[in-house]
Structure 1
Amino acid sequence: MSDAIEQYLIKNEPYYHPVADEVTLYEAAYSARIPMMLKGPTGCGKTRFVEFMAWKLKKPLITVACNEDMTASDLVGRFLLDAQGTRWQDGPLTTAARYGAICYLDEVVEARQDTTVVIHPVTDSRRILPLEKKGELINAHPDFQLVISYNPGYQSLMKDLKQSTKQRFGALDFNYPDHDTETEIVSHESGIDKAISTKLVSIAERARNLKGHGLDEGISTRMLIYAGNLIAKGVEAHAACRVALVRPITDDPDMRDALDAAVATFF
């Protein structure tokens, strides 16, 4: 394996708790080299799932955090100037396609639509990536796969994927795990006992019922792990929940009071 790609191999198994048949379905999609789209709320485990699957399949994983300033050149590459003159630098998508990695575009709808169009030829039957500035046509490595993720709750007419993009992908829906599974995940990841973990999960479940009724987004599994980390470090539970669960998701005084009351119910 090339040194350019070996650094992206995940050496240690990431902790991932399957919640349905997503592992089996993804393995089948990878074997067929179908590009995949992971849809679900923030902090519910999409990125961890991709890391776990890359480790399980023993494939390098190149992750790109998409943003509105990202250009096509940021994905495919550009010419750079150095002491020896001009040289070409592959972008992450090109590196993955050239050497056979999984390329993961996280929160892809944050990128401009004119940027995401560059993935079209490499996500259909052609599996090619034209480098127009360089005059090179890359035939994607047999091991290459593209994975994208986004949060459907944030999509709008101005910030959504084109149908011509969506229909190039298979899709897996993600959501927060059921109570017992989430309790196990929070306990494992933060090191707190399950009695405290189940209280944190119960607080999150109450908060998620407020989504659309004053909250734009519920308390995520990631936030529960943060709260658990603080408690494991000796922080008092009320303070840990205030810092990790309540204050990050709302500035509304009434909503903060309601969430603080939920915390007080369990702690």
Structure 2
Amino acid sequence: MSDVIEQYFVKNEPYYRPVADEVKLYEAAYSVRMPMMLKGPTGCGKTRFVEYMAWKLGKPLITVACNEDMTASDLVGRFLLDAQGTRWQDGPLTTAARYGAICYLDEVVEARQDTTVVIHPLTDNRRVLPLEKKGELVGAHPDFQLVISYNPGYQSLMKDLKQSTKQRFGALDFNYPQHDIETEIVSHETGIDSAIADKLVSIAERARNLKGHGLDEGISTRMLIYAGNLIAKGVDVHAACRMALVRPITDDPDMRDALDAAVTTFF
């Protein structure tokens, strides 16, 4: 295996708690190299799921955090100048296609649409990546798979995937886990008592009910783990919740008071 790709293998098993049949469905999709789209709110476990599946399948994983300044060259590669002259540097998408990695484009709608169209030839029966600047056509390795994720509830009309892009993917819906499963996840990831984890999840559920009624986003599982880690380090529960759960998601004084009251209710 090339040294280029060796660094992208997931060496240790990531903790992932299945909530339905998503593991079996993803394995079936990978077996036919179907491009996959993971849809769900921020911090609900999409990225952890991809890491777990890459580990389970024994495949390297190249993750790209998409942003509005990302160009097609950031994905496919560019010519660079060094002491020897001009040389070509593969981008993460090209590296994944050459060596048979899973390429994960996280929050893909943050990228410009003229950037995301470069994935089209890789996501149909052609499975090729044209490097126009280099004059090369890269045929995707048999193990290559493209995975994208995005948060449908957070998109505007200006930031959404084209239908011509969406219809190239199979899709799995993700959401925050059921109460008992989320409690188990928070307790496992932080080492805190399950009774405290249960209360943190209850606070999160209160906040999620306020989405669209003063909050753009609810409290995510990721945020609960942050709070649990603080509590495990001896931080006062109320201070940990203010710091990790309440203050990050709103600046509105009334909404902060309401969420602080929810924390006091459970603790």
Give the alignment's TM-score, normalised by structure 2.
1.00
Q: Deviations over 1:131-153 (max 9, x none)?
A: 00000001100000000000001
* Identity of matched residues, %: 91
Residue 139 of structure 1 corresponds to which residue in structure 2? 139
Q: Does 1:176 align with 2:171?
A: no
C-alpha offsets along residues 61-93 of structure 1, whole Å, 9 cap, x if unaligned? Answer: 000000000000000000000010000000000
Deviation digits for residues 179-220 of structure 1 (CA, Å, limit 9, x no counterpart): 000000000001101010000000000110000000000000
Offset, 1:228:
0.2
Count of equivalent residues: 267
Distance 2:156 2:255 in 1: 25
- Equivalent position of 1:61 in the other structure: 61
Per-residue CA shift, 1:77-120, capped at 9, x if unaligned? 00000010000000000000000000000000000000000000
Q: CA RMSD in A?
A: 0.3
Q: Distance in 1 between matches of 2:82 and 2:30?
A: 38
CA distance in 1, matches of 2:10, 2:225: 22
Whole-angstrom CA distance in 1 between matches of 2:241 and 2:211: 18
| Cα offset, 1:249, TM superposition | 0.2
For structure 2, the 5+ residue unaligned runs are none
Q: Distance in 2 between matches of 1:186 and 1:157?
A: 34
Structure 1 unaligned spans of 5+: none
Where do 1:140-159 residues align within 5 Å? 140-159=140-159
- In the TM superposition, residue 253 of structure 1 has moved relative to its aligned partner by 0.3
How far did 1:157 drift?
Answer: 1.2
- For residues 11-53 of structure 1, the C-alpha deviation after alignment (integer angstroms, 9 at most, x for no partner) is 1000000000000000000001000000000000000000000
1:156 CA displacement = 1.3
Equivalent positions of 1:183-202 (< 5 A) are 183-202=183-202
Question: How far 1:154 moved relative to its partner?
Answer: 1.2
**Deviating runs (4+, > 4 A) in structure 1?**
none
3-state SS of 2:146 partner: strand
